[in-house]
Amino acid sequence: MPGSDWLPTREQDLADLCQKWKRGLSDAANVAAFGWNQAEVTAVLGAVDGFLTARTAYEENDSSKNRLKKDEAKDAAKSAMRDFANTSLRFNKRMSNEDRAFYGVRSTDRTHTADTEPQTFPEAEPDTSVIRQVTIRFWDSATKKRGKPHGVHGAEIRWALLDHAPALVNELLKSDFDTASPFTLKFDETDRGRRLYFCLRWESNTNLKGPYGEIYSAVIP
């Protein structure tokens, strides 16, 4: 399976890409030219539009309820976009690399890349200098440099707000992805004072995952 997190990690960038998807998939000429299944197009359009609508509602009223709806709609849109990219864009012979680039999908890599999972892991430190957010800066455990190891696409960040220190990574139920340090999590006013636990692992260009690093923590400012 190709690397799943070609989607932007910054929400504004994701919203901008969703607008492009909405325009491209709403064009009947594209549906015909690229041989897309209309039912699948309708489904992904519904998910994309659902996120954009929920995000607008949250911007107009940033309540916890609206934020939850927005985040749930965002996750649904990202899932739908990934599935559609894998089934209808990435290996679609009717589409050029330029066509795929419009939808944010990386060009098909025809160069052989060794299927080797990362052997190292990201080390990290939290920055809590800005109110209601935690910025995670990370680097490679082997080189101690803020660059990714060769063949690595980015880092998966597993995290959760918990009242106790987790014994296992599986207790960190939320997951994000970032292709370059740093990565920032933003929280509501009601989350201030709660403890964030997080850990990271590298993911290769071919979607192979390395080992998790240690579990870190920070108090939300």
- The predicted-structure confidence for 188-201, as pLDDT tens digits, reads as follows 999 999 999 999 99
β-strands 133-140, 152-161 pairing: unpaired
Q: Give the whole-angstrom CA distance, residue 58 versus residue 62.
A: 5
The answer to whether the beta carbons of residues 117 and 204 sit under 8 Å apart is: yes
Tokens linked to 60: 């107009």
Q: What is the pLDDT of residue 4?
A: 45
Average pLDDT over residues 53-70: 93
Instruction: Sketch out the chain's domains with CATH numbers.
Output: 11-102 (no CATH), 122-219 (2.60.40.10)
Q: Which of 15-24, 109-118, 128-137, 191-200 has the lowest mean pLDDT?
A: 109-118
Provide the whole-model pTM. Answer: 0.53
Average pLDDT over residues 51-73: 94
In the block, tokens 């998807």 appear at 21
